[in-house]
Amino acid sequence: MNRGVLLILLGFATTNCKKEVPEIPQEISGIVGKWRTVEYTQFMGDSIVTGSIPKELSRVIIFRFDGVMLEENGKQTCSTPNIYLLNGQLIEIKPQAPVPTTMNCTGMTSVPCPEHYKITQISTDEIATEYCSVRLKYVREE
Q: Higher pLDDT residue, 41 or 7?
A: 41
In the predicted model, what is the mean pLDDT of the chain?
A: 85
Q: Give me the pLDDT at residue 23, please.
A: 85
The domain of 46 spans 22-140
What's the number of domains the chain is made of? 1
Residue 130 is assigned to a structural domain of this protein: yes
Q: Give me the pLDDT at residue 9, please.
A: 45
Which of 14-23, 71-80, 115-124 shows the lowest mean pLDDT across its residues?
14-23
Residue 88 is assigned to a structural domain of this protein: yes
**pTM for this prediction:** 0.78
Cα diameter, the chain: 82
Q: Give me the pLDDT at residue 5, please.
A: 45
Q: Give me the pLDDT at residue 17, please.
A: 55
Neighbour-count burial of 55, counting CB atoms closer than 10 A to its CB (0-12 exposed, 13-18 middle, 19+ buried): exposed
Give φ, ψ of 31 to 5 degrees: -110, -5
Residue 9 is assigned to a structural domain of this protein: no
22-41 average pLDDT score: 94
Q: Give me the pLDDT at residue 22, please.
A: 75
Contact between residue 12 and residue 5 where contact means Cβ atoms under 8 Å apart: no
Q: Give me the pLDDT at residue 28, please.
A: 94
Q: Give me the pLDDT at residue 10, please.
A: 46
Q: Give me the pLDDT at residue 104, please.
A: 73
Is 6 a residue whose pLDDT tops 50? no
